[in-house]
């Protein structure tokens, strides 16, 4: 069988390289695998490759540095980034250096092979340059809406804000306000920043460096080392303020009754719901990871629903009177009628 072309796979996970090599070889490609950035640069010096699959987190020389060296030798070779890196700034830098696409680990092997196929040179002539995947998001652009969660005594809380500026070490944001007044946030105050984007929700921890009065007043934050990415929901959610009863369970065996209830029934209120998850206000602090069985009153035409899910987050709900907590639940098993609410 004639080779479709040459692929260089660069990843420090040896088993992953073996799997990729076998998959691509079965599809008709000649494959070379290496396990650090220095080897990748050396291979590109020595041989011609039609596509490079490059991890960002590599020993000896990181993926961004290897990409820069590869670009200095060949500015046209298609490079596909494969990464579990949560730092969107690194993705942004890779995009600026010219990549055909990037895929997040873990990825579907068949989809990756299809991406290689679509990126490939045809008959010695490059195809039209592939744009990065639509879920590639550039963070820290001016006027980008964000939320600031501040942990500092009387100013603690969550506030809307926006990006005003950035440099290599800092991010400048609009100073949050309360009752029309700027909040005074001392240096070294711990903050949590949330960035809702089209593809996902990004978040990171930081601390304040300074505040500057003006029009507008701004707050300067440390730039993060790690940014966490939460995939956007697969299912659209609808508002559903209906009573809920729930209990903790130990074995997600099914929906035919109360499976191995560990506690008595407790009550809460649903805020929104979909076929994939829900946000619920409850009267107790439920640790993330807790498995729960839920039943609701009728939700529109879907009627009453019952689900098994796992708590993904639990935050104090300051908007509700009393000692209440807002929990997020990701469903693992649902009744069929729930699928109609989305």
Question: pLDDT per residue over 136-176, tens digit each?
Answer: 446 788 888 898 988 887 788 888 999 999 887 899 999 99
Q: Give residue 318's pLDDT band: very low, low, confident or very high (50, 70, 90).
A: low
Q: What is the CATH number of the domain that holds 115?
A: 3.40.50.2300
- The predicted pLDDT at position 198 comes to 63
Q: Give residue 331's pLDDT band: very low, low, confident or very high (50, 70, 90).
A: confident
DSSP 92-151: HHHHHT--SEEEESS--HHHHHHHHHHHS-BTTBPPSPPPPPTT----S-TT-EEEEEEE
Q: Give residue 254's pLDDT band: very low, low, confident or very high (50, 70, 90).
A: very low
Q: Give residue 121's pLDDT band: very low, low, confident or very high (50, 70, 90).
A: very low
| Residues 14 and 87 reside in one and the same domain | yes
| Residues 242 and 318 reside in one and the same domain | yes
CA distance 61 to 70: 12
Q: Give residue 209's pLDDT band: very low, low, confident or very high (50, 70, 90).
A: very high
| Residues 270 and 179 reside in one and the same domain | no
| Residues 204 and 270 reside in one and the same domain | no
| Residues 58 and 110 reside in one and the same domain | yes
Residue 138 lies in a domain: no
| Residues 257 and 307 reside in one and the same domain | yes
Mean pLDDT of the chain: 78
Res 38 pLDDT > 90: yes
CA distance 151 to 41: 45
| Residues 153 and 223 reside in one and the same domain | yes
| Residues 26 and 72 reside in one and the same domain | yes
Residue 126 lies in a domain: no
The mean pLDDT value for 54-77 works out to 90
| Residues 192 and 293 reside in one and the same domain | no
| Residues 219 and 256 reside in one and the same domain | no
The Cβ of residue 146 has, within 10 Å, a number of other Cβ atoms equal to 20
| Residues 70 and 26 reside in one and the same domain | yes
CA distance 37 to 42: 9
Structurally, the chain folds into a number of domains equal to 3
Q: Using a pLDDT cut of 70, give the percent of the chain over it.
A: 77
Domain that holds residue 51: 6-119
| Residues 193 and 254 reside in one and the same domain | no
Residue 320 lies in a domain: yes
Res 102 pLDDT > 80: no
Q: Give residue 1's pLDDT band: very low, low, confident or very high (50, 70, 90).
A: very low
Q: What is the CATH number of the domain that holds 304?
A: 2.40.10.220
pTM above 0.75, yes or no: no
CA distance 146 to 172: 12
Q: What is the CATH number of the domain that holds 189?
A: 2.30.110.10
What token pair was written down for 104? 């997040």
């Amino acid at each position: 069988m004639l080779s479709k072309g040459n692929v260089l796979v660069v990843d420090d996970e040896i088993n992953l390289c073996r799997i990729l090599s076998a998959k691509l070889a079965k599809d008709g490609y000649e494959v070379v695998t290496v396990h650090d950035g220095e080897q990748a640069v050396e291979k590109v010096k020595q041989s011609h490759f039609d596509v490079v699959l490059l991890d960002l987190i590599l020993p000896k020389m990181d993926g961004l540095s290897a990409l820069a060296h590869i670009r200095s030798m060949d500015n046209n070779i298609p490079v596909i980034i494969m990464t579990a890196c949560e730092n969107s700034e690194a993705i942004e830098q890779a995009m600026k250096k010219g990549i055909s696409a990037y895929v997040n680990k873990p990825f579907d092997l068949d989809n990756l092979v299809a991406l290689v196929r679509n990126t490939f040179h045809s008959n010695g002539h490059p195809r039209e340059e592939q744009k990065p995947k639509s879920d590639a998001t550039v963070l820290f652009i001016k006027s980008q809406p964000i939320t600031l969660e501040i942990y500092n005594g009387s100013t603690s809380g969550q506030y809307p804000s926006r990006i005003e500026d950035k440099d290599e070490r800092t991010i400048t944001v609009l100073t949050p306000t309360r009752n029309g007044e700027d909040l005074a946030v001392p240096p070294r105050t711990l903050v949590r920043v949330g960035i809702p984007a089209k593809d996902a929700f990004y978040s990171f921890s930081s601390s304040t460096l300074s505040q500057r009065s003006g029009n507008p007043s701004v707050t300067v934050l440390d730039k993060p080392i790690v940014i966490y990415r939460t995939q956007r929901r697969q299912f659209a959610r609808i508002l559903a303020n209906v009573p809920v009863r729930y209990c903790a369970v130990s074995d997600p065996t099914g929906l035919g009754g109360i499976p191995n209830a560990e506690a008595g029934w407790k009550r809460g209120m649903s805020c929104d719901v979909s076929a994939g998850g829900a946000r619920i206000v409850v009267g107790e602090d439920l640790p993330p990871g807790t498995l729960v069985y839920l039943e609701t009153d009728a939700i529109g035409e879907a009627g009453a629903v019952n689900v098994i899910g796992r708590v993904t987050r639990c935050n104090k709900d300051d908007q509700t009177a009393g000692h209440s907590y807002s929990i997020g639940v990701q469903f693992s098993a649902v009744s069929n009628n729930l699928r109609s609410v989305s």
